[in-house]
Amino acid sequence: MKRVSTVIKKYWHVKRKLASRAFSGAGLTTLPMHRHEWWRHAVNVQWAVLFRYSYEPPMLDLNFVRNNLPLVEQKLRDRGLDPAEILKDFHEVDQQRRQAITDAETIKARRNRASEEIAKLKKSGQDASTLVAETKELREQIQDREKVAADLEKRSQQILAGLPNLPNESVPVGKSAEDNAEIRRWGTPPKFDFTPKPHWELGEQLGVLDLERAAKLSGARFAVYWDLGARLERALANFMLDVHTREHGYTEVLPPYLVNSESMYGTGQLPKFASDLFRVPHGEKELWLIPTAEVPVTNLYRDEVLEASHLPRSLTAYTPCFRSEAGSYGKDVRGIIRQHQFQKVELVKFCRPEDSYQQLEKLTQHAETILQKLGLHYRVVALSTADLGFSSAKTYDIEVWLPGQQLFREISSCSNFEAFQARRANIRYRPEGKNKTEFVHTLNGSGLAIGRTWVAIVENYQQPDGSVLIPEALRPYMGAERITANKF
């Protein structure tokens, strides 16, 4: 990092307190990092002072974007985005920044030569005032060019932060969700000799789902479960965790449900999706209710280096999830499909880059296994480039059949983020026999969303008398074979 300018270097000595305050003010803590790496963060930290949630390390490598601009532009078009709008003036900013650094180093070399000459003149008793004045002018020029470089660096990082992940080559190119590709189906839809009811009618008639009292307690998009309805939620969580830990080799984790801003940055929720989150003021800082266990579980290894021999690392967690559902009003207003609070079992993997797509297939199969054991008809679809999430390189959606609504509904999204999250959360591993660390690949998926699994069981296993059979796999957890009507 010899080319790092004096102005940027001085952050290490003079501005570290400013950076600490900026991180603290944004709900962050200063990161333990090498002195040659931290200056890049310091630039973003000053930006964070002005824009509260704007601290965001780049998620795509600068050199990769610079050297592969045509590819990046095409991948953005595949996502249905305008490259000019996303990349803005990146190419010009990057060129100007590199030129400013070169200019600063060239002037610095002239100043060093002049300083050596000044020392010689003074040693021989000669007048060095002209050269002293020149070095002062050169120092001002250096400071000016370094400030320009720092400002351009900030601008460059801002542009990079707005770049979504690039779709993998295997992702179907499309213009909308209509272009998602169905990969496979499992099972067949149940046949009824009566008109099947949606879960909100069944739940109310059975006395196990109470949306009216939930609205009294908290408002719309909350639910109260009674008796066997509540036990079914608990049974599903225990069943899923047992399958994933005992049969699939995951390690169970119970993480906090409130996390700091830095954790939200690590997995990509902040700043882009702040409106979808519940913020909790906490003294001078703030915490956030987790939208998914992906956030705390992935961030367990933030700013850490994993040994290659420990990969892949597979973790599972059961947590409540909290989402504001901003912009979704009018969608799925009936029942418990789209809630502000719901429960989910999450699957998270950390692996070597060369293994990540094999691990994606495994993770997806692990989520499918739950549906198979419950005897629920489903299909797997590969999301098209236009439907892909901001951070994902490839995603499979698992959609379960809901006979009461006569449609398939997403019950799990299984994604490979490649190095996208690991780069911003600084999660690395050390390959065997190498000193240099590399970013891991992170993956996650629902294994499964418990509320929607509850819905699928109630609708698929409903009986002519209005009762609901319990799938055999759940009966040891339920202590019952059937849900019958109760009133509370």
Catalytic residue positions, numbered:
323, 338, 410, 413, 452
HEC string for the chain = CCCCCHHHHHHHHHHHHHHHHHHHHCCCCCCCCCHHHHHHHHHHHHHHHHCCCCCCCCCCCHHHHHHCHHHHHHHHHHCCCCHHHHHCCHHHHHHHHHHHHHHHHHHHHHHHHHHHHHHHHHHCCCCCHHHHHHHHHHHHHHHHHHHHHHHHHHHHHHHHHCCCCCCCCCCCCCCCHHHCEEEEEECCCCCCCCCCCCHHHHHHHHCCEEHHHHHHHCCCCCCEECHHHHHHHHHHHHHHHHHHHHCCCCEEECCCCEEEHHHHHHHCCCCCCHHHCEEEEECCEEEEECCCCHHHHHHHHCCEEEEHHHCCEEEEEEEEEECCCCCCCCCCCCCCCCCCEEEEEEEEEEECHHHHHHHHHHHHHHHHHHHHHCCCCEEEEECCCCCCCCCCCEEEEEEEEECCCCEEEEEEEEEECCCHHHHHHCEEEECCCCCCCEECEEEEEEEEEHHHHHHHHHHHCECCCCCEECCHHHHHHHCCCEECCCCC
Tokens of 292: 């998914």
Around Cβ 34, how many Cβ atoms within 10 Å?
Answer: 7
**Residue in 198, 126, 109, 173 with CA at minimum distance from that of residue 409:** 198
Tokens of 10: 């001085």
User: What CA–CA distance (Å, rounded) separates 116 from 378?
Assistant: 77
User: What CA–CA distance (Å, rounded) separates 446 from 355?
Assistant: 20
